[in-house]
Amino acid sequence: NAGVTQTPKFQVLKTGQSMTLQCAQDMNHEYMSWYRQDPGMGLRLIHYSVGAGITDQGEVPNGYNVSRSTTEDFPLRLLSAAPSQTSVYFCASSYRRGGAYEQYFGPGTRLTVT
Amino acid sequence: GQQVMQIPQYQHVQEGEDFTTYCNSSTTLSNIQWYKQRPGGHPVFLIQLVKSGEVKKQKRLTFQFGEAKKNSSLHITATQTTDVGTYFCAGRGTSGSARQLTFGSGTQLTVLP
């Protein structure tokens, strides 16, 4: 199993550009999430999905869209990039094992918006 | 909304010394998870605590969940250079949107050889 994969690894955007960060998992996990990580602030939840066709907002959803058409894929779209969206983005998938929702994180995408 | 505070933000220890990081939630949690992130890497799940007063051990790591289910700690005995990284707690609330995981800001551990 490849686990959780994310592309691209690095990306530089100009203010106002749009792009999609890709996330895929091959573990048949129902639950997927997107986080952003900024220095000194831990990970903040952007959007999450509890299954194909179902998505919901997290703590910091503004400026981002998601969709979940399949169990495997959960892309994150930046509608109009802003410098405040410079961050490291992590996708995660999880399932319930022994009562714990163990999250598996992808390697991350480092995004810079100039 | 739900807040999870984690202290200290940074900790430098000599190899062989012990290390502890603490998490405090503004609300009662249904469970708390701990993750480790190596420099340049991604968070890796360590453990989940669910019960009030629960204590779990993984080799040199001891995890505790407070009686009121609002605080937690991770203690590492006799640190090694392989313990270097940032340790995050993540609490899950009991209702509504608070059921999502809220991460603490992490404790960055440096182990000096």
Question: Is the pLDDT confidence value at A44 over 90?
Answer: yes
Question: Is the pLDDT confidence value at A27 over 90?
Answer: yes
Contact B100 A43 (CB under 8 A): no
Instruction: State the pLDDT confidence band at A99, using cuts at 50, 70 and 90.
Output: low
- Report the pLDDT averaged over residues A50-57: 93
Using only the alpha carbons of chain B, give its radius of gyration.
Answer: 14
Query: Closest-CA residue in chain B for A103?
Result: B45
Flag whether residue B10 sits within 8 Å of chain A, measured between CB atoms. no
Q: Which residues of B83-92 are buried (b: 16+ CB within 10 A; e: fewer)?
A: bebbbbbbbb
Mean pLDDT of chain A: 93
- Report the pLDDT averaged over residues B61-75: 97
Mean pLDDT of chain B: 94
Sign of CA pseudo-dihedral B27, B30, B36, B42: negative
Question: Is the pLDDT confidence value at B98 over 60?
Answer: no
Flag whether residue A40 sits within 8 Å of chain B, measured between CB atoms. yes
Contact A100 B31 (CB under 8 A): yes
- Report the pLDDT averaged over residues B19-48: 95
